[in-house]
Structure 1
């Protein structure tokens, strides 16, 4: 892909995508914080956040821009997974991260379609998407075990987020000075920790659903928030984890501006995709 204005177009799309994702998580977390404090918010997921934005000023336009940004982020995740743009390597850890990027591409593409549907006034499909696909999966041979495996992978991802929050360098890919990273690092750590807790809970829901063979046990981020709220001193737990999601969103906005993105040219992307296809044949 040719450079425009001195920057790779894929890089522009990636930055737009990080910004859109960051904005969504800021809204998700802010609404949950308000709910924890009894100030009228709601503990919902990304779709709930999109609905809230839709009801605000210029709602359809803003949600339409978010849809475009999330689609751009899904494209970037796909490119990351295929081309190894971040130089993760072909070791077990690198392949796991690249595989997670491919899964992330599908998830954010679906959320982009939801946002586009809302923006165009088409509404959302009825039912719960996570419960629908889990019911479909469990109806297949070995589907119960596959769902349990997915749940365990989500739990592993949660521990990965927590590990990065505790011991990882969340600012390693930011083009900022050491002094600037000093105040950004706690924001990133807080955000990754909150996402880790959410992943552990959501993964647990999936494993429980597989164990009891009931897709109704599958829950998303909104129910994870509500589970925290039901615990002793739950409003404090919810407020902390929700604030962490605001931090995760804010960190995404920082990534949109300062993350190092080594986006390949489109010809290089095509070649990498062809190599990946041949490797799996």
Structure 2
């Protein structure tokens, strides 16, 4: 039996409102909030490691790697398994926050317009991505085998087996570039900067905001580069030209100007790490607005 459209339009806002109130209540639980803060710190630590390892590899003319390579190298260090285990657990806190944003979207309108749907999908994809990184870190910590294949290149290869595959890859590339542009816009306008508690010193807050904008800009550039290589792969029908952050770093490392861009992105990732770690302590979570 199909529900009347009028009834659906009447029930949907109520369901969304109840979901958002649940999200606000969940975020207010001290243990949940602390776990999410740990997740922010873990994400910052990950980006800081990627940036530091990239600068080290550039300095000693070694191949620059992305998150998987960093985790693999970290696992070979003294107490590496312990650090990887803690990082994996910490990232789960950030995954939880992304899924809360995807399903309940606290702090935003209850309306499900196109922009809200796209934004929630982006939150969900982000959560799944960091869940995959947490899984890789956990497997390395436990000494389990992991798959170091480039997921993006594998996706491109699968898509190219279908006639419409190159067009789909072109769409994915354009969307990835679009995500990067939104990061640049968010950095320029400050809309992607978290709100901080009042106890954070005003001078420190200004510096943190500036550092955060620098880090978010670096993330935006990395997304644009990944998307550009996807578009290139779709245009030339060459799935080997598609790849994730590790592939982009490897390509940039092949020429002089690429090394400059790579170094700038690496320093930007370190800036983003500083911003995220401070946000882990001082970020202000959304609260339920007062009903009129």
TM-score for the superposition, normalised by structure 1: 0.83
Measured after TM superposition, the shift of residue 60 of structure 1 is: 0.7
| 1:162 equivalent in structure 2 | 184
Equivalent in the alignment of 2:145: 123
The count of residues paired between Structure 1 and Structure 2 equals 262
Match of 1:82 in 2: 103
The secondary structure found in structure 1 opposite 2:146 is: coil
Match of 1:229 in 2: 253
For residues 254 and 60 of structure 2, what CA distance do their matches in structure 1 show? 17
Match of 2:272 in 1: 248
Kindly state the Cα deviation for residue 45 of structure 1 after the two structures are TM-superposed. Answer: 0.7
Give the gaps of 5 or more residues in structure 1. 265-281
Q: Displacement of 1:173 after TM fit?
A: 1.9
Cα distance in 2 for partners of 1:140, 1:257 equals 48
Partner of 1:270: none
Name the structure 1 match of 2:118: 96
Deviation at 1:88, TM superposition (A): 5.6
User: 1:1-281 maps to which residues of 2 (within 5 A)?
Assistant: 7-36=29-58, 38-39=59-60, 42-87=63-108, 90-125=112-147, 127-140=149-162, 142-175=164-197, 176-262=200-286
Note the C-alpha offset of 1:178: 3.5
Q: Secondary structure at the match of 1:44?
A: coil
Q: CA deviation at 1:169?
A: 4.3
Q: Which has the larger radius of gyration?
A: 2
Shift of 1:68: 1.4
Q: CA deviation at 1:41?
A: 5.9
Cα distance change of structure 1 residues 88 and 255 upon mapping to structure 2, 3 Å threshold: farther
After TM superposition, the structure 1 stretch with the greater mean CA deviation from structure 2, 198-207 or 123-132, is 123-132
Q: Per-residue CA shift, 1:103-157, capped at 9, x if unaligned? A: 1111111111111111111132253222222322333463332222111111001
In 1, Cα distance between the equivalents of 2:242 and 2:218? Answer: 20
1:217-256 CA deviation, whole Å, 9 max, x = no partner? 1111122223333344443322211100111122111221
CA-to-aligned-CA distance 1:74-104 (integer Å, 9 cap, x gap)? 2221111110123265344333222210111
Query: RMSD of the TM alignment (CA)?
Result: 2.6
Report the CA distance shift for 1:231/1:263 in structure 2 as closer, same or farther (over 3 A): farther
Instruction: From the superposition, tell whether residues 86 and 224 of structure 1 become closer, same or farther in structure 2 (CA, over 3 Å).
Output: farther
1:52 & 1:41 partners in 2: Cα distance? 13
Q: CA deviation at 1:170?
A: 4.5
How far, CA to CA, are the matches of 2:266 and 2:217 in structure 1?
11
Q: Which moved more, 1:52-61 or 1:174-183?
A: 174-183
List, as ranges, runs of 4+ consecutive aligned residues in structure 1 with deviation greater than 4 Å. Answer: none
